[in-house]
Chains A and B, each alone.
Chain A
Amino acid sequence: MNRSLLQKIAMPTALLLVWLFFSFMLDRDALLGREGARFLFIGSRNLTQLFIEYSIVATLALGMFLIILTGHIDLSVGSGVGLIGGIAAVLIFKEGWPAPFALLGAGGSALVLWTLIGVFVVKQHMPSFIITLGGLLIFKGLFWLVIQNSTIPISRGGEDNLYSLLTTYSLPPQAGLILALGLTAVIAWLQFSDRRERISHGLPPGSGAAMAGRIAIAAIAIFGVVLICNSFRGVPVSLLILTAVAGAVYFITVHTPYGRNLYAIGGNEEAAVISGIQVDRVLIGAFVLMGVAVAITGFMMTAYSGASTTTVGDLMELDAIAACVIGGTSLKGGRGSVVGVLLGAFIMTSLLNGMTLMAVSPELKFIARGAVLALAVWMDVKFSRA
């Protein structure tokens, strides 16, 4: 009992510590009101930037979450992010496709590739670790072939298109507030209707205060983010994309039989087969959804870099895995939640962003990233013994 409580507060505490550390290191002058000092870390400019980076990492992590839930893993997604973003860039810049078609085409190739990975894992019984390790190298090679080791802009003549706007467009302030209001209303409505239904079935409805608390926390978080963004340029569109992806993954894992089956396979695959779950289909489906997440992440990441270059997506698979594991997803499968993954990704992004602001050298950044990953896995091992 104490252990689950510890697990619940461990993540928010870690996040708080990370933020306190960076605000102290970067913003103490501004916090003390020294003249001429500006907020570096918790200033709205940096936070908007951080939210964009967060959207990119978290979208990939949510895809990875579906794979890890089944007890599998996908190491190829970092290279995939580069490859899919690169295909879209080449289609636009070299082939002259309109941006929407280019994105659809590149997205389609992601679906094909990840369906193939799923089929190899399921039908040929290849361990996902190995086949996606192969995928990591193959996709990297394909990526460099596609962009011919050069830098491909994502639009012709520097004009904005759907692709480039993915990380540059921001909503007008009023639109952001209206969306925040709408989202809060939807969350409150879902909570209320759930409660009403429980009562109508004669089930214990749960504490009303706890429900009000949940709605209040959600409202504070949503409005907080929107107000921060509005005091810079407005809510970035990538954050909207993340919201949609997170909503979809939440619905899949919590509310659908398909999501239940993901947990069941991760918990005990042999029992899942006997329980009548079509394990093959569910697993291939998880890889297809991973492909969708890779495509979306690839577009955002490439747009954020401004162009497709050979380093786009490097090591992102590790950030995604780390976000899942920090967020309490078990690498053995069968345990984890969307909220956890979102928090885990936020911790990871805050770390990366803060270190960049502090001008930490790349050497130390690698070491810090690795240490966080190792620490997260250690915690996973420790907690799974419960």
Chain B
Amino acid sequence: MSHDPSQPTIFASSPQSLSSRPPVLEARGLIKKFPGVIALRGVGFSLRPGEIHALCGENGAGKSTLIKLLSGIHPHGSYEGELRVDGEPVAFRSIRDAEAAGIGVITQEFALVDDLSVAENIFLGRPPVRRGCIDWTTMQKRAVELLAQFDLAVPPDAPVRSLGVGQKQLVEIARAMDKKSRVLILDEPTAALTEKEVDVLLKLLQRLRAEGTTCVYISHKLGEVFAIADRITVLRDGSSIVTLDAKDTSIPQVIKYMVGRELGDLFPRKPPLAPGEVLLSVQDLTVARNASEKNFLKNISFDLREGEVLGIGGLMGAGRTELLTHIYGAWGVRKSGHVFFKQNPLSLHTPSKTLRSGLALATEDRRRYGLNLSMAVGFNLSLSSLHDMTRFGKINFSSEYVRNQQFFDQLRVKAPGQHSVVGGLSGGNQQKVVLGKVLMTGPSVIMLDEPTRGIDVGAKLEIYELINRLTAEGKGILLVSSELPELMGMSDRIIMLHEGQIGGEFVRGEFSQEKLLAAAVGQTAAVNN
């Protein structure tokens, strides 16, 4: 990977005919190798001025690496192939070079400073300056103008910490627009947004398109992709497979290109013929965050039986995660009500006790609560089950290895081996490691909080099949999901939460997006409960 001195540097000026407008950004034959892995094995695509171009592909297909090349994070010379801006070859040596060429990237992890204000964040690193001092008046004024453009009704001096996820996203976009980006690359922008926030974002992107900004839109949510994209490029195993006009193709066709095979039913749920005994019973549960705060979860009751998948839906902040983590013993102070697990009351319990009694939780934020990212796959898999492999106080490494390998194979974790560091795996494989750790403890009830967030179609299907297998063994599943199709596809019953209360309960057969949403926003008064 040597630097080619004959390569022209940024914006080498040469006469350019304007008869046909060249692509704003073009990639040709990109190949990127990491030690032991080829991340990109030949990617080419081009962006027409003013289009929204979606990049689709499973995790590990090479999308993130591609973005890193386009945005200068992997500098010129560390890869093979060519990038062109307006038809001219460019050599980005840093993010700064890419920004100077008008390419702005908005990643999944926000680059915002929580304790600074909205305006300070928008102008982070390049505040308006007058006579060597920050010009606060101009900063406020320009921030107000930008925010108005994005219909963002927050004061510019509000700390970013106080904003919702969707608002933070808009602040990021405002910042990119202030940098005069001509190409905006959005990596999974809607992963954490509510439906309403997604609508706002998509409208905004359409407006930016009308104003001539070119967008690269990366998302696993194909519905959104089809709602907004003009063209779609599919990546698979580090290669660009095909570029399609959105109006000439369909979701099944794109999925087929993404996985390289036909997928059967997207949600292969096989409900049990007759659910068994009650495993988990929640009765009139009322919980507050702290003893001194007002109640957050109010009068929640439900039963979960053997072999059943109980879906729990609701908008962000409705209390889904809090409900699971309280049952698990990791959140909140109970004001009233009972939780029974296999007829035994769970109160004042700790995660370690709950887990040992056979009730397990796979958390929503796997990087924060699920995994030890700097450690190996094997370390993470066995972490909750070490006592089963210990004799006379000593871990039996061989039986640990054998047991790890069993789950490693069974869940089809795609990694070189147990010794691979978890932080280097794709989202879907990290999720499999979390599930492997949870399942190794041999639980009879598994609470899954957003088990498919940010993972690709193929891995999603594997997780759905796993859910089927577990319920067939008589285990009970509590499934929290923000995606209604998934919730409806995989649950036998659904409870919708609305502001910490049950807004409605539905059984399979009476599911519909409208009914569920109505319950989530509290529109159905006193549902049959």
- A residues near B (Cβ < 8 Å) are 1, 194, 197-198, 200-201, 203, 251, 255-257, 260-261, 263-264, 267-268, 270-278, 334-335
Is A276's CB under 8 angstroms from B352's CB? Answer: yes
Min CB distance, B278 to chain A, in Å? Answer: 24
Is A255's CB under 8 angstroms from B395's CB? Answer: yes
A1-B35, A278-B352 known; A270+B398 contact, CB < 8 A: no
Is B355's CB under 8 angstroms from A268's CB? Answer: no
What separation, in Å, do the CA atoms of A37 and B214 have in the docked complex?
Answer: 80
Interfacial chain B residues near A277, Cβ < 8 Å? 352, 383-384
What separation, in Å, do the CA atoms of A270 and B371 have in the docked complex?
Answer: 9
Looking at B370, B386, B402, which has the most chain A CB atoms within 10 Å of its CB? B386
Is B375's CB under 8 angstroms from A203's CB? Answer: no
Interfacial chain B residues near A270, Cβ < 8 Å? 368-369
Tell me the nearest residue of chain B to A202, going by C-beta.
B402
Interfacial chain A residues near B370, Cβ < 8 Å? 271, 274
Is B351's CB under 8 angstroms from A273's CB? Answer: yes
What separation, in Å, do the CA atoms of A256 and B361 have in the docked complex?
Answer: 25
A257-B390, A271-B370, A274-B363 known; A263+B375 contact, CB < 8 A: yes
What separation, in Å, do the CA atoms of A197 and B375 have in the docked complex?
Answer: 24
Is B374's CB under 8 angstroms from A267's CB? Answer: yes
Interfacial chain A residues near B355, Cβ < 8 Å? 275-276
Q: What number of residue pairs across chains A and B have CB atoms under 8 A from each other? A: 85
What separation, in Å, do the CA atoms of A257 and B396 have in the docked complex?
Answer: 10
Is A264's CB under 8 angstroms from B398's CB? Answer: no
Min CB distance, B396 to chain A, in Å? Answer: 8
B359-377 to A contact mask, C-beta < 8 Å, 1/0: 0010100001111111100
Looking at A1, A203, A257, A278, which has the most chain B CB atoms within 10 Å of its CB? A257
* B466-515 interface with A by 8 A CB criterion: none
Judge whether B393 is part of the interface by a CB distance below 8 angstroms. Answer: yes
Q: List 12 A-B contacts (CB under 8 A).
A: A201-B402, A256-B394, A256-B395, A257-B390, A257-B395, A260-B386, A260-B395, A264-B379, A268-B371, A274-B361, A275-B384, A334-B372
Is B384's CB under 8 angstroms from A197's CB? Answer: no
Is A275's CB under 8 angstroms from B402's CB? Answer: no
Is B351's CB under 8 angstroms from A264's CB? Answer: no
Judge whether B444 is part of the interface by a CB distance below 8 angstroms. Answer: no
Q: Which one of A203, A273, A335 contacts B330 once the chains associate, using CB atoms below 8 Å?
A: A273
Min CB distance, A209 to chain B, in Å? Answer: 20
Is B352's CB under 8 angstroms from A268's CB? Answer: no
B14-46 to A contact mask, C-beta < 8 Å, 1/0: 000000000000000000000100000000000
Interfacial chain A residues near B397, Cβ < 8 Å? 194, 197
Judge whether B401 is part of the interface by a CB distance below 8 angstroms. Answer: yes
Is B375's CB under 8 angstroms from A274's CB? Answer: no
Is A276's CB under 8 angstroms from B351's CB? Answer: yes
Judge whether B356 is part of the interface by a CB distance below 8 angstroms. Answer: yes
What separation, in Å, do the CA atoms of A1 and B397 have in the docked complex?
Answer: 24
B377-416 to A contact mask, C-beta < 8 Å, 1/0: 0010001101100100111111101100000000000000
What separation, in Å, do the CA atoms of A316 and B422 have in the docked complex?
Answer: 37
Looking at B35, B371, B397, which has the most chain A CB atoms within 10 Å of its CB? B397
Is A274's CB under 8 angstroms from B398's CB? Answer: no
Which DSSP category, helix, strand, loop or mixed, fits chain A's interface?
helix
Interfacial chain B residues near A273, Cβ < 8 Å? 330, 351
Given contacts A267-B373, A267-B374, A334-B372, 12 further A-B contacts (CB under 8 A): A1-B35, A197-B397, A203-B402, A256-B394, A257-B387, A268-B371, A271-B369, A272-B372, A274-B328, A274-B330, A274-B361, A277-B383
Judge whether B167 is part of the interface by a CB distance below 8 angstroms. Answer: no
Judge whether B452 is part of the interface by a CB distance below 8 angstroms. Answer: no
Is A274's CB under 8 angstroms from B390's CB? Answer: no
A201-B402, A257-B386 known; A274+B374 contact, CB < 8 A: no
Interfacial chain B residues near A276, Cβ < 8 Å? 351-352, 354-356, 384, 441
What separation, in Å, do the CA atoms of A309 and B369 have in the docked complex?
Answer: 49
Interfacial chain B residues near A257, Cβ < 8 Å? 386-387, 390, 395
What separation, in Å, do the CA atoms of A255 and B392 have in the docked complex?
Answer: 11
What separation, in Å, do the CA atoms of A356 and B373 have in the docked complex?
Answer: 44
What separation, in Å, do the CA atoms of A45 and B502 have in the docked complex?
Answer: 79
Is B372's CB under 8 angstroms from A264's CB? Answer: yes
What separation, in Å, do the CA atoms of A201 and B400 have in the docked complex?
Answer: 11
A277-B352, A278-B352 known; A268+B387 contact, CB < 8 A: no
Interfacial chain A residues near B393, Cβ < 8 Å? 255-256
Is B368's CB under 8 angstroms from A271's CB? Answer: yes
Judge whether B350 is part of the interface by a CB distance below 8 angstroms. Answer: yes
Tell me the nearest residue of chain A to B360, going by C-beta.
A276
Min CB distance, A15 to chain B, in Å? Answer: 26
What separation, in Å, do the CA atoms of A272 and B437 have in the docked complex?
Answer: 12
Tell me the nearest residue of chain A to B370, going by C-beta.
A271
A257-B386, A276-B384, A277-B352 known; A271+B371 contact, CB < 8 A: yes
Interfacial chain B residues near A334, Cβ < 8 Å? 372, 374-375
Is A274's CB under 8 angstroms from B356's CB? Answer: no
Min CB distance, B94 to chain A, in Å? Answer: 17
What separation, in Å, do the CA atoms of A281 and B330 have in the docked complex?
Answer: 16
What separation, in Å, do the CA atoms of A267 and B356 have in the docked complex?
Answer: 22
Min CB distance, B267 to chain A, in Å? Answer: 27
Interfacial chain B residues near A255, Cβ < 8 Å? 393-395
What separation, in Å, do the CA atoms of A246 and B11 have in the docked complex?
Answer: 62
Tell me the nearest residue of chain A to B350, going by C-beta.
A278
What separation, in Å, do the CA atoms of A133 and B228 have in the docked complex?
Answer: 58
Q: Which one of A1, A197, A203, A274 contacts B369 once the chains associate, using CB atoms below 8 Å?
A: A274
What separation, in Å, do the CA atoms of A274 and B370 have in the docked complex?
Answer: 7
What separation, in Å, do the CA atoms of A201 and B404 have in the docked complex?
Answer: 13
Is A274's CB under 8 angstroms from B351's CB? Answer: yes
Interfacial chain A residues near B374, Cβ < 8 Å? 267, 334-335
Interfacial chain A residues near B361, Cβ < 8 Å? 274
B194-205 to A contact mask, C-beta < 8 Å, 1/0: 000000000000
Q: Which one of A203, A256, A263, A278 contacts B398 once the chains associate, using CB atoms below 8 Å?
A: A203
